[in-house]
Amino acid sequence: MTKESPEAQKKERLLSFADAAELLIRRAQKPLSYKQLTKIALDEKLIETQSETPAITMHVALRSDMKRREQRGEPQRFIFLATASLVLSIWLRGHRVRKQKAPLIKSGSRV
C-alpha cells in the first residue's frame, strides 16, 4: 500500500476557483462578490494561488467558466449581477435572463 505525500493529499483537497465559488455561494444561500468568494476560499484553503491579485484570478476563472459553457452550449453555472456579485443560475430558473456576453441582471430587479 502506497501512502500519498502530504503535498499530494493537499492538492487532492483543493478545488478549482469555479468549484470553490459554487460551493461557497450554495453554502451562503445569497449572492457573493468575486472578492468575497476569493477571501473565503483562501481563508478556508479551498484554493491555492501564487497570484499577487487572487481576486482578479477568481474573476477571470469565473468568466472563463461562463465563456466555456456558452461555447459548448452547456447551461451556465453563474450569473453576474450588476452589483458584481454572483448567484447560481439555478436560482433564477423560470426567469428570463437576457443573453449577453456574460449574463448580467440588476440585483433586486424582476427579470
Q: What is the maximum alpha-carbon separation in the chain?
A: 57
pLDDT single digits (tens) 71-87: 999 999 998 887 778 88
- On whether residue 1 sits in a domain, the answer given is no
* pLDDT attached to residue 111: 42
Better pLDDT: 75 or 94: 75
- On whether residue 110 sits in a domain, the answer given is no
First to last CA, the chain: 56
- On whether residue 62 sits in a domain, the answer given is yes
Q: Where are the alpha helices (DSSP H) in the chain?
A: 6-13, 17-28, 34-43, 54-72
* pLDDT attached to residue 80: 87
- On whether residue 82 sits in a domain, the answer given is yes
* pLDDT attached to residue 88: 85
* pLDDT attached to residue 45: 96
The range of the structural domain enclosing residue 83 comes to: 6-105
- On whether residue 15 sits in a domain, the answer given is yes
Going by pLDDT thresholds of 50, 70 and 90, the confidence category of residue 110 is very low
- On whether residue 34 sits in a domain, the answer given is yes
The count of structural domains within the chain is: 1
- On whether residue 66 sits in a domain, the answer given is yes
pTM, entire model: 0.72
